[in-house]
């Protein structure tokens, strides 16, 4: 069996998750090299996984002719540049979301990828979640007929630091972007128009940073379906991640995952478990699965499961949501595309 040599650029939390997924769960891939601009502790961690090379400059990875594929897990502002370099170097690319917040840079990245003819997969991991993948399958199998309404509940257990909010592009681009991808995935159609309402109800500092922490977003899809997403930066009971697709013949919905199926009955009531705490717990399986499918796409020379266009579209929707809340009106995606 040919083993693909992989380089991981950026060894933060998600880079490490992918390295472990590949090492433990992807028999036909091996992490040969990693790089990070800050190397404290990286060497020890890399050793523990048997990773051969640790670099401070990602170009060492791109220049290594034995490297077949790279994972771009560096800071968001570098995704498009490094992906473009990697494409030019002929490497297959797994790029963490978002590709960029700048539409021009996204487009030029996708152009470079197209020109190079390499595989390109964007890290919208939730498509690979066991629950949401099952919803998709049920819908695609026609069990619930034509989709009419896609409902997504997506609430974080804690707001991020305000410093992060200031540079992240705001809730629609750092948090809801996953839900926009999920909505497209489940609707099987493109969003035409967005309307967002929101408020700052969790932490006033978020309002000072110019953002909201509680939002409801309505999406009109080309196929007539309607999407609705509700977000909060803080659910006291934990990470609330539910999806429901309602269609002409029925509905399919996924409840939260929990640590156990136990319930305790006492005089106080019947108590069951809260949702799994946060995304690493909740979506661990999906991180493994997206790696599996990325390397399967390389091996079988098939389309990746989340392609370049899938990286672009949610950013368009996010920018439309931002404009919608700023201007207090529904915004068409075509308005945003016209700015590209």
Q: Could you tell me the smallest distance in angstroms from the CB atom of residue 49 to a second copy?
A: 11
Give the position of tokens 């266009």.
309
Q: Could you tell me the smallest distance in angstroms from the CB atom of residue 340 to a second copy?
A: 24
Q: Could you tell me the smallest distance in angstroms from the CB atom of residue 113 to a second copy?
A: 33
Residue 208 backbone dihedrals phi, psi, to 5 degrees: -60, -30
Distance from C-alpha of 338 to C-alpha of 45, rounded to nearest angstrom: 46
Binding mask 222-241 for a second copy (x = CB under 8 A): --xxx-x-x-x-xxxx--x-
Q: Could you tell me the smallest distance in angstroms from the CB atom of residue 300 to a second copy?
A: 21
Question: Which one of residues 116, 175, 191, 252 is an interface residue with a second copy (CB under 8 A)?
Answer: 252
Residue 296 lies near a second copy (rule: CB under 8 A): no
# residues near a second copy by CB under 8 A: 69
Cα angle 102, 105, 108; round to 5? 150
Residue 301 lies near a second copy (rule: CB under 8 A): no
The two tokens of residue 246 are 């309602």
Distant-in-sequence contacts of 201-205, Cβ < 8 A, 24+ apart:
201/232, 202/159, 202/232, 202/233, 202/234, 203/159, 203/162, 203/233, 203/234, 205/162
Q: Which residues contact residue 252 at a Cβ distance below 8 angstroms, ignoring those fewer than 6 apart?
A: 134, 135, 138, 139, 143, 144, 244, 245
Distance from C-alpha of 195 to C-alpha of 323, rounded to nearest angstrom: 9
Q: Which stretch binds a second copy (CB under 8 A): 53-61, 174-182, 267-275, 305-313?
A: 267-275
Residue 28 lies near a second copy (rule: CB under 8 A): no
Half-sphere exposure of 39 (CA within 13 A, CB side): 11
Residue 223: C-alpha distances to residues 147, 190, 226 (Å)? 9, 8, 9
Residue 220 lies near a second copy (rule: CB under 8 A): yes
Show the beta-strand stretches assigned E in 97-175.
120-122, 147-155
Report 186-215 residues binding a second copy (CB under 8 A).
195, 197-199, 201-202, 214-215
Q: Could you tell me the smallest distance in angstroms from the CB atom of residue 236 to a second copy?
A: 5
Report 127-166 residues binding a second copy (CB under 8 A).
130-131, 134-135, 138, 143-146, 148-149, 151, 153, 155
Q: Could you tell me the smallest distance in angstroms from the CB atom of residue 260 to a second copy?
A: 4
- Rank residues 102 and 335 by Cβ distance to a second copy and give the closer one: 335
- Rank residues 215 and 333 by Cβ distance to a second copy and give the closer one: 215
The three-state secondary structure class of 252 is strand
Neighbours of 329 (CB within 10 A): 9
The three-state secondary structure class of 248 is coil
> Which residues of this protein are in contact with a second copy, per CB under 8 A?
24, 27, 48, 130-131, 134-135, 138, 143-146, 148-149, 151, 153, 155, 195, 197-199, 201-202, 214-216, 218, 220, 224-226, 228, 230, 232, 234-237, 240, 246, 248-257, 259-274, 328-330
């Amino acid at each position: 069996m040919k083993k693909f040599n992989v380089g991981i650029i950026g060894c933060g939390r998600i880079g490490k998750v992918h390295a472990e997924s590949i090492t433990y769960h992807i028999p036909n891939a091996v992490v040969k090299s990693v790089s990070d601009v800050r190397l404290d502790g990286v060497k020890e961690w890399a050793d523990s996984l048997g990773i051969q090379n640790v670099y401070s400059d990602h170009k060492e990875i791109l220049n290594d002719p034995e490297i077949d594929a790279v994972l771009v897990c560096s800071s968001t502002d570098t995704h498009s540049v490094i992906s473009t370099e990697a494409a030019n170097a002929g490497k297959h690319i797994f790029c963490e979301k978002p590709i960029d917040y700048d539409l021009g840079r996204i487009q030029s990245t996708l152009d470079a990828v197209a020109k190079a003819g390499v595989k390109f997969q964007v890290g919208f991991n939730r498509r690979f979640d066991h629950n949401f993948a099952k919803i998709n399958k049920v819908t695609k199998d026609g069990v619930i007929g034509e989709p009419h309404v896609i409902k997504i509940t997506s609430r974080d257990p804690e707001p991020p630091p305000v410093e992060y909010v200031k540079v992240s592009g705001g809730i629609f681009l750092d948090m809801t972007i996953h839900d926009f991808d999920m909505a497209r995935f489940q609707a099987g159609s493109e969003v035409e128009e967005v309307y967002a309402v929101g408020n700052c109800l969790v932490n006033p500092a978020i309002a000072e940073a110019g953002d909201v922490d509680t939002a409801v977003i309505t999406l009109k899809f080309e196929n007539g379906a309607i999407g609705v997403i509700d977000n909060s930066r803080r659910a006291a009971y934990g990470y609330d991640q539910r999806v429901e697709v309602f269609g002409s013949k029925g509905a399919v919905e996924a409840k939260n995952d929990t640590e156990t199926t136990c319930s305790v009955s006492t005089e106080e009531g019947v108590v069951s478990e809260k949702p799994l705490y946060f995304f690493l717990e909740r979506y661990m399986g999906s991180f493994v699965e997206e790696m599996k499918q990325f390397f399967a796409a390389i091996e079988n020379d098939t389309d990746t499961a989340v392609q370049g266009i899938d990286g672009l579209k949610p950013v368009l929707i996010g920018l439309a949501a931002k404009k919608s809340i700023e201007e207090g009106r529904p915004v068409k995606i075509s308005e945003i595309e016209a700015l590209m």
